[in-house]
Structure 1
Amino acid sequence: MLTSRERAVLVLEDGRTFTGEAFGAVGETVGEAVFSTGMTGYQETLTDPSYHRQVVVMTAPHVGNTGWNDEDDESSRIWVTGFVVRDPAVRPSNWRASGSLEDALREQGVVGICGIDTRALTRHLRERGAMRAGVFSGDAAGEPSDVLAQRVADAPAMEGSELASQVTTEQAYVVEAKGEKRYTVAALDLGIKSMTPFLMAERGIEVHVLPASATFEQIRAVHPDGVFFSNGPGDPSTAPQVEVLREVLSAGIPYFGICFGNQILGRALGFGTYKLKYGHRGINQPVLDVATGQVEVTAHNHGFAVDAPLREIVTAPADAEHGTSYGRVQVSHIGLNDDVVEGLACLDIPAFSVQYHPEAAAGPHDAAHLFDRFVELLDAHAAKESTK
């Protein structure tokens, strides 16, 4: 562990700065500053591809106590562009740890900052909204403030950014079903977390994970019983996968989407999407299941949301270009902190989605039953097809 640290500074887009010390790699990085309210699970957060091009601020003050292990990565690398903590652990203290958090950040070139008032920073982002930020340490921290501010201002905004193509798998691969195979699902990797196909495999699903660029013909080539669109980064208004999903829906193939996959379903149905002021990120977000009236504590990571009417069944807006409508749809889940759409259910076609993360690594697991719901949808569709 480091015994002394170099000076570091965090510069926000609106001009506010925080001075602290280098944590992880020394250098400079720029991205969208967002905060995560999870008390645990920083390794899963750091390796979630949905955080690509974001500077993540941890609201929990003490980070790194459990170190870094070889089991909890949600992808092949750390994806955050920068990391902000208040008090890093002096040393890891967990029997599963194979190294320290700071060593992992340094080895993967992730620039971070520690020793700042993350509570003040979080309050600022809540009041002003998510914004671009830069973390500068070492020699970079000594450059003039106006030069650093300009580097932040020159960084691309999250609105209008297509990022799924930057985080997706390059080659298709298969996750075999555990035990007896029941179904085949084509999963579009828009930034998929490794726990997702694992949980489907546990339910007897053979998962064919395809690149984000996969066409409908490539999806159909695996002869799927269902289609899944994953979480992922970027602005859903830029997603070319909307047109692919419309072909899936028109073909009557059962569909399940999470997070980015929920936003893509919303746009495929004809609804709009918009950027939230500061988004939902953490593992403690309350969501109402409209059908059951139950409240689930859920894991979130999204900065965009679907613009659809709450608490009523509506006919999905027609696709003007293709003259297609997909029948009745309702908002199935609602975020209780701010009434954000957290799920969609189609009533006339076999499709549903949620905005949050039912795979929930590192927890909670209130929503894991949604994978069972997907299996039930596949069961019902298979039974219907068998009577034709």
Structure 2
Amino acid sequence: MIRDGVLVLADGSVFEGELLGAENGAAASSGEVVFNTVLSGYQEVITDPSYAGQIITFTTPHIGNYGVNATDFEARRPFCRGIIVRDLARRHSNHRAEASLDAMLARYSIAGIGGIDTRRLTRLLRDTGAMPGAFGADEATARAAAASEKGTDGIDLVAEVTTPQPYSIGAGARHVVAYDFGLKHSILRDLSGLGRITVVPAGTTAAEVIAMRPDGVFLSNGPGDPAQVGYAVAAIRELLGKLPVFGICLGHQLLCRAIGGDTFKLAFGHHGGNHPVRHETT
């Protein structure tokens, strides 16, 4: 059954569409609206903890074509606030598929809206920057939710996505402690191929890490404002000079702040896919 819906941005822009995924009744789903330019890999994007607090707009018009499966999850569950698509595939086809994208969204209580002019929306976000928004069945409710949505500024979203308990994966002579600020499973798989990885919660102290006697410390990706994760900055600052430390994404920003640098939010981040480049002659 088609469920009519409406997307409202904080600047008053309105987009009509149809609701999909979880049913929120009269409530609206709100968050910071961003866009992603991947042509495939929608499941990995939706389950990437770095999107906590955000509503993901897919610029690729057809989403859900090949379904979803348990292997391609990047986290224990999705942490995004919702998705926006032009056209959600009503039927999926792939030998690895275990369920439809719509069913996965419903299972994890993630709502979405389809039938949206994502080209118009992306151009708007490109020109004005990421902004709060909300979608639901009622325009007035969505408008009120968009107006009250604070986005991701000034919020510690890491606490929402980090692992509650330490755990280990992999084996080998090398031992790396990985801070989970929103660690993606694919990154963890790559690291575990190099040795033993001990994943620790974001609030783990430097003393606790040093006691594990690792060969190095990895600072993972994650969501939100690095200025709000002061406890991690303090731990990193204490680790510097005692252990090799390397980071990616939010982890790199936290490392920057630990050595005295500052961070600020861009109007919009470029969210897309990584593609390997190989120069055959070298």
Bucket of the pairwise TM-score, normalised by the shorter protein: over 0.9
* 1:171 aligned partner: 165
Using structure 1 for the length normalisation, give the TM-score. 0.69
* 1:247 aligned partner: 238
For 1:100 and 1:123, how far apart are their aligned partners in 2? 29
Q: Deviations over 1:209-243 (max 9, x none)?
A: 00001000111121111000100011011112111
Q: How does 1:74-113 map to 2 (within 5 A)?
A: 74-113=74-113
Q: Secondary structure at the match of 1:242?
A: helix
- Match status 1:50 vs 2:50: yes
For 1:74 and 1:247, how far apart are their aligned partners in 2? 30
Give the conservation status (yes or no) of the 8 Å contact 2:182–2:222: yes
Task: Give the superposed CA RMSD.
Answer: 1.3
Alignment partner of 2:3 out of 2, 6, 22: 6
For 1:44 and 1:24, how far apart are their aligned partners in 2? 17
For 2:33 and 2:46, how far apart are their aligned partners in 1? 14
Q: Secondary structure at the match of 1:70?
A: coil
Q: 1:366 offset after TM fit, Å?
A: 4.8
- Match status 1:160 vs 2:157: no
For 2:145 and 2:212, how far apart are their aligned partners in 1? 45
Alignment partner of 1:222 out of 212, 217, 220: 212
For 1:274 and 1:366, how far apart are their aligned partners in 2? 30
* 1:19 aligned partner: 16
Larger radius of gyration: 1
* 2:191 aligned partner: 200
- Match status 1:279 vs 2:252: no
Q: 1:280 offset after TM fit, Å?
A: 1.2
Query: How high is the sequence identity, in percent, across the aligned residues?
Result: 43
* 2:132 aligned partner: 132
* 2:173 aligned partner: 182
For 2:130 and 2:193, how far apart are their aligned partners in 1? 37
Q: Secondary structure at the match of 1:219?
A: helix
- Match status 1:237 vs 2:234: no
Q: Secondary structure at the match of 2:31?
A: strand
- Match status 1:191 vs 2:182: yes
Q: 1:182 offset after TM fit, Å?
A: 2.2
- Match status 1:71 vs 2:68: no
For 1:202 and 1:262, how far apart are their aligned partners in 2? 22
For 1:279 and 1:90, how far apart are their aligned partners in 2? 30
- For 1:274, the aligned partner's letter is F
Q: 1:64 offset after TM fit, Å?
A: 0.4
- Match status 1:114 vs 2:114: yes
Q: Secondary structure at the match of 2:224?
A: coil
Q: Deviations over 1:158-186 (max 9, x none)?
A: 11111101100000000122xxx121111
* 1:260 aligned partner: 250
- For 2:39, the aligned partner's letter is M
For 1:12 and 1:84, how far apart are their aligned partners in 2? 12
- For 1:190, the aligned partner's letter is F
For 2:23 and 2:238, how far apart are their aligned partners in 1? 47
For 2:234 and 2:262, how far apart are their aligned partners in 1? 14
Q: Secondary structure at the match of 1:277?
A: coil
Q: 1:8 offset after TM fit, Å?
A: 0.7
For 1:97 and 1:79, how far apart are their aligned partners in 2? 21
- For 2:6, the aligned partner's letter is V
Q: Deviations over 1:118-162 (max 9, x none)?
A: 00000000111100010113xxx2x5x3x4322212122311111
Using structure 2 for the length normalisation, give the TM-score. 0.94
For 1:47 and 1:99, how far apart are their aligned partners in 2? 15
For 2:158 and 2:269, how far apart are their aligned partners in 1? 18
- For 2:186, the aligned partner's letter is M
* 1:347 aligned partner: none
Query: How many residue pairs get matched?
Result: 274
* 1:376 aligned partner: none
Larger RCO (CA within 8 A; separation ≥ 6) = 2
